[in-house]
């Protein structure tokens, strides 16, 4: 199974989309992301190595009562 092209999905919905493929690109891409107008949606995809551990791994659920719970 492969992931869809999230950049194309975002663009199809009218969202400005940014893809960062290397750690050298990260500062410029983060600057672009953070400086994008706050009244418009923006999506950023950061590609990492397949076997790379990405921490922290955080999973939160919104319960019916409106409280966040760890999973």
Start-to-end CA span in the chain (Å)? 24
Q: What residues contact residue 42 under an 8 Å CB cut-off, 6+ apart?
A: 15, 16, 17, 18, 33, 36
**pLDDT value of position 46:** 92
Per-domain boundaries in the chain: 6-70
pTM of the model: 0.69
Per-residue pLDDT averaged across 40-68, rounded? Answer: 74
Q: In whole angstroms, give the CA distance from residue 42 to residue 58.
A: 21
Average pLDDT, the chain: 84
Q: What DSSP state is assigned to residue 62?
A: E
Q: In whole angstroms, give the CA distance from residue 29 to residue 21.
A: 10
Per-residue pLDDT averaged across 52-64, rounded? Answer: 64
**pLDDT value of position 43:** 96
């Amino acid at each position: 199974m492969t992931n869809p092209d999230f950049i194309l999905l975002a663009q199809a919905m009218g969202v400005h989309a940014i893809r960062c493929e290397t750690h050298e690109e990260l500062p410029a891409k983060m600057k672009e992301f953070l400086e994008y107008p706050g009244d418009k949606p923006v999506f950023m995809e950061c590609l990492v190595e397949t076997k790379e551990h990405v921490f922290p791994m955080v999973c939160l659920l919104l319960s019916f009562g409106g409280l966040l719970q760890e999973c």
